Amino acid sequence: MTTVIDGKNVAASVIQTVKSATAALEKSSGVTTGLAVIIVGDDPASHAYVGSKGRMAKECGFKSIQHTLPAETKQEDLAALVATLNADPSIHGILVQLPLPKPLDSEPIIQSILPEKDVDGLSVVNAGKLATGDLKTGLVSCTPAGAMVFVRRTHGEDLSGLNAVVIGRSNLFGKPMAQLLLNANATVTIAHSRTKNLAEVCRNADILVAAVGRPEMVKADWVKPGATVIDVGINRVAAPERGEGKTRLVGDVAFQEVSAVASTITPVPGGVGPMTIAMLMANTVIAAHRTAGQTPPQF
């Protein structure tokens, strides 16, 4: 019987831990966890994301601040706002909603966030800490951190003797995911669009993580029987059966056929997706604990 991971359920348990840790920190040291979100311009999707992040932060008991800037904001003004938040001791996490409207350059802005407040885990310092195995002081990018929670809950903390294959080599997901698996002692292969005999490489995986951005690319005959399959893809495809012009969301894995082979699988939607905001909250409360000299919660 295949286990389909309920991402909403796991995310809710992460949020429960965040709430308890937030309350405990406030009680023990008087510190209220603070998250500041910066959004530039009026992209509706970005505003929807930021709205849900703000609501979740309040639900967790955080001090939640949102800075909404006009699309014509200048680079130096955005940089100055980040510098102000860096210097604010009541803010433990800073998040700049991407993409930024043109001609703003997001890279120097992201890198200017103090690494200890970089709750998106995107700074080169945090990437370097993850690459060198320093999970004690670094912050990990939210989506791979969330996917790793699924892996740990399925296989435990130590992945010794297990083969893991990550399809995708992006800085946002593929590379940090591979590093997390490696830190947990898995034997890791990073595959991508240029990998020869990709299906064959995937068939060797006890843990297969798909993050390539191609709808339903991973088929049943790519998957080792009994493998754990984590699908990070979010692709919108035509769904004429729902009516003219209608679409539906699918992952990078052909869910129906692969779930007949895998022992554990994440659905799309409802798998990795809900974990991203949950891990953002987790990173923020971890950052607050570290600032207060307290031991952060484990997720």
Binding site residue list for NADP(+): 168-170, 234
- Distance set, CA 115 to CA 139, 216, 279 (Å): 8, 36, 16
Please indicate whether residue 16 is annotated as part of the active site. Answer: no
Please indicate whether residue 58 is annotated as part of the active site. Answer: no
| Annotated catalytic residue, options 16, 75, 117, 120 | 120
The residue type at 4: V
Q: Report d(CA 286, CA 136) in Å as an integer.
A: 10
| Annotated catalytic residue, options 97, 179, 224, 252 | 97
Q: Report d(CA 205, CA 194) in Å as an integer.
A: 18
Q: Report d(CA 50, CA 37) in Å as an integer.
A: 7
Q: What share of the chain is helix, strand, coil (3-state, %, to 5)?
A: 40, 15, 40
Query: How large is the angle between the packed helices 273-291 and 142-155, nearest 10 degrees?
Result: 100
As a whole number of Å, the CA-based R_g of the chain is 20
Q: Which residues on adjacent β-strands are paired with residue 237?
A: 248
- Three-state DSSP class for 210? strand
| Annotated catalytic residue, options 6, 19, 42, 53 | 53
Q: Read off the tokens for 74.
A: 């200048």
Side-chain-side CA neighbours of 77 within 13 Å: the count stands at 12
Question: What is the pairing mode between strands 3-4 and 264-265?
Answer: parallel
Q: Read off the tokens for 58.
A: 């309040």
In total, the chain counts a number of residues equal to 299
Please indicate whether residue 298 is annotated as part of the active site. Answer: no
Q: Which residues are catalytic?
A: 53, 97, 120
